[in-house]
Amino acid sequence: MSHSRTSRIVLRPIPAPPKVGFPLPRTAPPANASITLGRWLDIWMEKDIEPCRADTTINGYDIIIHNHITPALGKVRLTDLSPELINGYYQWLADEKGLSPNTIRKHHVLLHTALKSAFRQGVIPANPIQRATPPQATAVEVSYYTPARLGQLLRAVKGDPLEVPVRLACFLGLRRSEILGLRWRDVDLHSGQISIRWVRTTVGSRVVEKAPKTSDSCRTLSIAALDDLLDLLRALQAKRLRDGMPCAPEDFLLLDGVGQPLHPNLMSSAFAAFIRRHSLPPITFHGLRHTFASMANNARVPMYQISRAMGHSNPNITQRIYTHLFDQTHGEVLAAVADTISRESALPRRGA
């Protein structure tokens, strides 16, 4: 007896797709042959830059875009951009605007990043700036004081309201923004430590208070061995309390004549006037930071330790910034070797 088999098809409902626990990526705008570079830069700034970059970066990009790129190339369609047109823009910046090669390279980096985003999102089929040729970067002249000149400055500034920021810059290598960001809570006069946790700087006409740009810039420096600086800070604190000026932990170290946080531009202009009044070579607060680097290098402090003290993310950055300054030490080494060789070659031969 034979049995026949019957196939059975079982229909099951298709399960719904799982819900995702993260936002879906933003849909890329469709390719549009009519979109101009100016319009794309507005979109790029709004979507990619403004939500996640610091105010100082946003302001710098705005200046480049609205003062230079938009007037020159803003009406050019993205699809019409070519390496030749971009190279012509760089030449225009140099010839007509008088910008330095290093400044022009900042324009190149901005355009490269913005157009790379356009390519990634399918707005343009290729990034034309990859075949453009920006000018070569040039070495930046680093201004700093010699030990003798620094001694002259420190003698002149003694007792002046600028003495505190000057000593913080040249003895600790602090940036202007870091000096202005110091609060009394950041200064431990008992253990002799200063912590860099906040900066105050200008963005256009505004004063911005924020955390340092990188985690490496947040650092604690020991001033336990710097008796003069400790005494100066103790005297400043005592004077504040005596004069009834703000001196609570949350108050800033540097105040103006009416007890308000000192404006960055006011401190810089006062220092420039002080330098002129005492017939000293021109130098800025950042030049005093360079002076700190020079002193540390001349004292044969390892590059890693100099980098850490200055708040750089790695020693390569320190070496790159101060290449010419540090090369002087290399020159001293080579001169010492050459002198030794010369003395040895001048000695009479044995048996002669």
CATH number for the domain that contains residue 201:
1.10.443.10
pTM: 0.71
Q: CA angle, 130 as apex, 124 and 136 as ends, to 5°?
A: 145
Task: Say whether pLDDT at 194 is over 50.
Answer: yes
Instruction: Please give the Cα distance from 22 to 154 (Å, whole number).
Output: 58
Residues 97 and 174 in one domain: no
For 82: left if phi > 0, alpha if psi spans -120 to 50, otherwise beta; the answer is beta
Residue 210 lies in a domain: yes
Final residue before a domain boundary, out of 97, 131, 165: 131
> Which amino acid, residue 207?
V
What is the reported pLDDT for 34? 79
Confidence of residue 296 (pLDDT cuts 50, 70, 90): confident
245 has pLDDT over 60: yes
pLDDT band at 315 (very low <50, low <70, confident <90, very high): confident
317 in the same domain as 186: yes
pLDDT for the residue 222 = 94
For the chain, the domain total comes to: 2
| pLDDT tier, 319 (very low <50, low <70, confident <90, very high otherwise) | confident
CA 31 → CA 34, 121, 130, distances in Å? 9, 8, 20
Question: Both 166 and 127 in a single domain?
Answer: no
Name the residue range of residue 157's domain: 147-327
pLDDT at 297: 83
Compute the chain's Rg from CA coordinates: 30
Average pLDDT over residues 19-23: 39
254: which 2 tokens? 């540097």
Closest C-alpha among 40, 297, 303 to residue 146: 297
| Claim to verify: residue 120 and residue 159 sit in the same structural domain | no
Residue 53 CB contacts under 8 Å (≥ 6 apart), including other chains: 61
